Copies of this chain bind each other. A is one copy, B any other.
């Protein structure tokens, strides 16, 4: 980038962030009705102007080969009438969710008569950085606004025209319904340095949320001066215990691994108790035969499934996001727990067992956002948890862990009410 432009870009970023902060102060005081009215009006505008949005999307699709997008990425980029209807339906769904702002979380009256209330309030300003899926533009904006936060959106250059067309609908809906101006802002430049500038502005921005590949997330985490809600990867495990129902185990493994391979809650590594390995692994191999899945096993696995490739140390820590599954035979529940806590991503890990003690020990000992018993790892998801909407999944322990919906974009403050109390 031309160095003469740097101050201009920095100034632009400061201006955007400052305006977001101002909008957030007004937004935090806004009633639920205005926010919902904005959501409904946004849906109206999106549907009314779908031709314009689709035309903008055509421009992005035409540019896609130039960005080297593969067919899967191009498919994610593509908008259709059906996909616009999906966006509209997501926004309507968010309108129907309860407003988290103002919820009284806790409270008590102190012996001196002071009344202390812990009340849920918005975080303030969210900086949301995402890659090429244009539907995320509307979805993320809706979640941020419904939870009372102003949002600065930075979408991928591959979807810039689509995102801008969607943002226009959201911003005009804001004007039409009295949502504070600058509640939803979109970074117009595709200059990568804009992200760097914004990540420094912790006096205006309360949280950064990156969604995309690990490279993006590492960059944001390294550069951000404000807290970040994120997960790097999802190296999710299933442990098939000695008292597992085989039919159930096979069904859950198939679903966890094969229903959608490229997502963070898909199965990546299977652990099998030594006592059942001889019997179970051939059945697993047969079950997965209809899928193009490569097994990478430990020595014991390969004795039982000779077609499995040899797993290396690196495999145990790896999120494949594709048709590979690492398989290890373990001597005990404790070995499984230790392995998962060592190599896992603290994302989603499951046990298949009918042994109550083993289940209790597993759920207590596994240090992950979601610990699953006798169900698919794919259930670690805001929608499946009943949150109604999700802006991401966190594998951190600080602030929010697991799926992040409306509540996870809030904080609280204490209101202390008295009638003249002083401290003695």
Q: A225 vs B371: C-alpha distance in the bound complex, in angstroms?
A: 26
Known: A207-B398, A369-B414, A412-B401. A420 touches B251 (CB 8 A): yes
A contact residues, total (Cβ < 8 Å)? 61
A397 pairs with B379, CB closer than 8 A: no
- Tell whether A255 is near chain B: CB-to-CB under 8 Å: yes
* Residues in chain B near residue A66, CB distance under 8 A: none
* Residues in chain B near residue A123, CB distance under 8 A: 397-398
Chain B residue, CB-CB nearest to A372: B416
Q: A114 vs B378: C-alpha distance in the bound complex, in angstroms?
A: 12
- Tell whether A384 is near chain B: CB-to-CB under 8 Å: yes
- Tell whether A363 is near chain B: CB-to-CB under 8 Å: yes
B423 pairs with A379, CB closer than 8 A: yes
- Residues 243-260 of A contacting B (Cβ, < 8 Å): 245, 248, 251-252, 254-256, 259
- Tell whether A108 is near chain B: CB-to-CB under 8 Å: yes
B255 pairs with A422, CB closer than 8 A: yes
* Residues in chain B near residue A422, CB distance under 8 A: 251-252, 254-256, 259, 375-376, 378
Known: A398-B207, A398-B398. A379 touches B421 (CB 8 A): yes
B423 pairs with A259, CB closer than 8 A: yes
**Shortest Cβ distance from residue A200 to the other chain B in the assembled complex, whole angstroms:** 13
Q: Mark A382-407, 1 if CB is under 8 A from B, else 0.
A: 00111000000000111101100000
**Shortest Cβ distance from residue A7 to the other chain B in the assembled complex, whole angstroms:** 25
Q: Which of B245, B386, B411, B415 contacts A116 (CB 8 A)?
A: B386
Known: A25-B341, A25-B367, A386-B110. A379 touches B416 (CB 8 A): yes
Chain B residue, CB-CB nearest to A423: B378
Oligomeric state, in copies: 2
* Residues in chain B near residue A121, CB distance under 8 A: 367
B423 pairs with A411, CB closer than 8 A: no
Quick one: which of A371, A399, A412, A422 has the most chain B CB within 10 A?
Answer: A422
A415 pairs with B363, CB closer than 8 A: yes
* Residues in chain B near residue A412, CB distance under 8 A: 401
* Residues in chain B near residue A365, CB distance under 8 A: 25, 29
**Shortest Cβ distance from residue A402 to the other chain B in the assembled complex, whole angstroms:** 5
Quick one: which of A108, A365, A371 has the most chain B CB within 10 A?
Answer: A371
Chain B residue, CB-CB nearest to A29: B364
- Tell whether A419 is near chain B: CB-to-CB under 8 Å: yes
A385 pairs with B398, CB closer than 8 A: no
* Residues in chain B near residue A341, CB distance under 8 A: 25
- Tell whether A418 is near chain B: CB-to-CB under 8 Å: yes
A398 pairs with B29, CB closer than 8 A: no
Known: A385-B116, A414-B371, A418-B375. A397 touches B248 (CB 8 A): no
Chain B residue, CB-CB nearest to A378: B423
Closest 7 interchain pairs by CB? Answer: A375-B418, A255-B422, A397-B411, A378-B423, A399-B399, A248-B420, A227-B398
Q: What are 15 A-B contacts with C-beta separation under 8 Å?
A: A25-B365, A28-B364, A28-B367, A108-B386, A206-B398, A251-B420, A373-B417, A374-B417, A375-B422, A376-B423, A378-B422, A379-B421, A398-B411, A401-B412, A401-B414
